[in-house]
Amino acid sequence: MSSRGFTLVEILLAVIILAVAIVPLVSAFGPAVFSTGGQEEMTVFSGQARGTLNRILSLDYKTLKDNMSDPVDLAALFGSAEEAAKETFTFRGIGFTPTVVIKEETPGQEGLLEIVVTLGPVNLKTLKADY
């Protein structure tokens, strides 16, 4: 009788050996996959918040001063609801709009505003001077 192929026992033994070798490898990559997702979220939110902050900084000092509040009405700040809607974006099926706070850096003294943009876990802060 000539033997051709593998027996069921040989196949089961090979599958068990592969499973024992693969399970630790897959479990080692689990934390890396989860941390990558968190980094992706931080990157997206940071980029969006930076874009909003740059757009606000392009406005003149008087417009920012006239719209100081906690939080700022973006439609009033940008001049229309359509312009304010440009700051809203969708990430993983959820819509996000940044929160903007504009206040005097040194209350009672004119000329320096603090601008804070908060978007999810990201909080960016800068100053704008009246010059």
Say if residue 18's pLDDT is above 80.
yes
Q: CB burial class (10 A; 0-12, 13-18, 19+) of residue 127? A: exposed
Tokens standing for residue 49: 């918040």
Give the span between the Cα atoms of 54 and 57, in whole angstroms.
Answer: 5
Compute CA distances 20 → 14, 31, 129, whole Å.
10, 20, 64
Q: What is the pLDDT of residue 26?
A: 80
pLDDT tens by residue, 34-66: 766 678 888 999 999 999 999 999 999 999 999
Tokens standing for residue 107: 């209350």
Residue type, 117: V
Q: What is the pLDDT of residue 110?
A: 76
Q: In terms of pTM, does the model score above 0.95?
A: no
Contact 114, 103 (CB under 8 A): yes
pLDDT tens by residue, 91-102: 989 999 999 999
Mean pLDDT to the nearest integer, 79-87: 91
